[in-house]
């Protein structure tokens, strides 16, 4: 009887221990899951709200985004004379040849960008790429074979008009080389990276379309 009573006591004690351990584990698990849930709720509550207006304001600070530069050196000839019924009047021909360096910048104007944000998607409507600037290095000008007509002198307006015409010619060459396509592709990549940095995570899918 003593042995049976001792065995019974040990059995009860073991059962109590199992119950205590189970309660401890259950309590710990409950506390853990509750803590995780609360931490998630706190994170969601304190996480900065991402809106299209906020992203647009940050990106618009850049204003103009230059993504491609087209540097060139060119040479052109100017010639002018006085005509009389389709015939050149003698001693009225004036001409010169000019070489110079220039720089064309292409990109997008970010002041008209549009951004829409949902829970999982950020949609960016990006303006078309365009030529943002075209500058000529005045210090690079070299004039060759300059000739004045006796009755038709070279004037400052001749140089200015020739420069305007040449700039248009070089812009056409840059456009035909695909400068705007390259500029738009680069702008998409840059804006996408800017948004990923601004959102500080990768939970959003970024879609970029042309305006």
**Confidence bin at 13 (pLDDT 50/70/90):** low
Q: Total structural domains in the chain? A: 2
Q: Is residue 82 classed as helix, strand or coil in its secondary structure?
A: coil
Percent over 70 (pLDDT), the chain? 68
Q: Which residue has the tokens 């970010």?
A: 110
Specify whether 79 is located in the same domain as 177.
yes
What is the chain's mean pLDDT, rounded? Answer: 78
Q: 145 and 42, same structural domain?
A: no
For residue 129, give Cα distances in angstroms to 26, 55, 66, 137, 193.
Answer: 61, 20, 9, 24, 18
Q: What angle do CA 95, 100, 103 make, to 5 degrees?
A: 140
Q: Do 33 and 78 belong to one domain? A: no
Question: Domain end: 30, 47, 64, which one?
Answer: 47
Q: Are residues 30 and 94 in the same domain?
A: no
Give residue-wise pLDDT tens across range 34-93: 444 444 444 344 455 778 788 888 888 888 899 999 999 998 887 776 665 666 766 567
Between 202 and 157, name the one with better pLDDT: 157
Owning domain of residue 42: 1-47
Task: Tokens 């949609």: give the residue.
Answer: 123
Residue 4 has pLDDT above 60, yes or no: no
Residue 116 and residue 95 share a domain: yes
Fill in the DSSP letter of residue 120.
Answer: S
Is 70 found in the same domain as 38?
no
Bigger pLDDT: 183 or 20?
Answer: 183
Q: Are 95 and 159 in contact (CB under 8 A)?
A: no
The pair of three-digit structure tokens given for residue 209, joined into one six-digit string:
């379309």
The whole-angstrom separation of Cα 167 and Cα 64 is: 21
Between 155 and 176, where is the model more confident?
176
Task: Provide the pLDDT for residue 30.
Answer: 46
pLDDT in tens, 132-163: 999 999 899 888 877 776 666 777 787 788 88
132 and 151: one domain?
yes
């Amino acid at each position: 009887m003593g042995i049976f009573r001792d065995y019974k006591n040990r059995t009860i004690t073991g059962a109590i221990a199992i119950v205590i351990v189970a309660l401890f584990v259950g309590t710990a698990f409950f506390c853990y899951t509750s803590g995780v849930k609360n931490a998630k709720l706190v994170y969601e509550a304190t996480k900065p709200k991402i809106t299209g207006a906020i992203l647009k304001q940050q990106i618009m600070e850049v204003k103009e985004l230059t993504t491609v530069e087209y540097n060139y050196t060119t040479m052109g000839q100017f010639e002018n004379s006085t005509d009389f019924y389709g015939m050149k009047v003698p001693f009225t021909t004036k001409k010169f040849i000019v070489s110079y360096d220039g720089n064309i910048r292409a990109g997008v104007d970010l002041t008209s960008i549009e951004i829409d944000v949902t829970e999982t998607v950020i949609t960016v409507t990006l303006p078309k790429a365009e030529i943002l600037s075209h500058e000529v290095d005045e210090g690079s000008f070299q004039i060759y074979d300059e000739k004045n007509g006796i009755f038709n002198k070279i004037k400052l307006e001749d140089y200015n008009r020739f420069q305007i015409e040449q700039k248009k010619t070089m812009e056409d060459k840059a456009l035909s080389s695909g400068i705007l396509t390259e500029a738009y592709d680069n702008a998409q990549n840059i804006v996408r990276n800017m948004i990923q940095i601004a959102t500080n995570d990768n939970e959003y899918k970024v879609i970029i379309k042309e305006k």
